[in-house]
Amino acid sequence: MRKKLAAGNWKMNGLKASLTEVEALIAAHPAPACEVLLCPPATLVSAMAALAAGRIAVGGQDCHPKASGAHTGDISAAMLKDAGASHVILGHSERRADHAETDALVCAKSEAALAEGLTAVICVGETEAERDAGATLAVVGRQLAGSVPAQATAATVVIAYEPVWAIGTGRTPTLEQIAEVHDFIRAELVGRFGAEGDGVRLLYGGSVKPANAAEIFAVSNVDGALVGGASLKAADFGAIVAAL
């Protein structure tokens, strides 16, 4: 049985004062039936990890493929782990677009994360132009093949499907579209990894909010969500946790 996961990506949002939202989330959901993960900016990982104290998981939003060195502004997987992180988001569409991250680079980062004992949340998803061209499954399949390392297991990797055109836009794919892609991802993972592939959790991301969470979570092969803006407020994210 795959344990459900509600993951929040704070992106470039949050100051120390924002940690009151984490306190409120923990107070409202002290023993959730699903796993809860928050990925704040790097400046808050240590403080959030100390505050969460094992009640919710904390992750980073990126890591460098190398363990150390002359890489100004970058953060290694070992540094995230040292700060208290247990997970790291990799290959998010904003990193792929804004920083020209390739599948090969995402794979290298994922291998670095796994080597440090972090769980890699690897993101895949198509742009609006790719969706309109009927290339969704081809794009997602290519990203899966190139971004997920050979040593991935159900315990070390989570896949997040985020259609780029639905992130932060308020637009959401139909339930049938979500099911099509999630079923495709499951088949690809099982074809590559066998039983391990069946155990990898698949998250949906892209304008997930309290109003649509329950129906999305009822879709085939949706094991949770990677939530953006709605994860910044305890009331909104808590409602999504409750739905899951």
**Residues identified as active-site:** 92, 162
138-143: Cβ within 8 A, 24+ apart: 140/181, 140/184, 140/185, 141/184, 141/188, 142/103, 143/91, 143/103
Contact indicator for 127, 165 with CB cutoff of 8 Å: yes
The 8-class DSSP code of residue 68 comes to S
Distance CA 108, CA 211 (A): 37
List residues bridging with 161 in a β-sheet.
124, 204
R_g (Cα) of the chain, nearest Å: 17
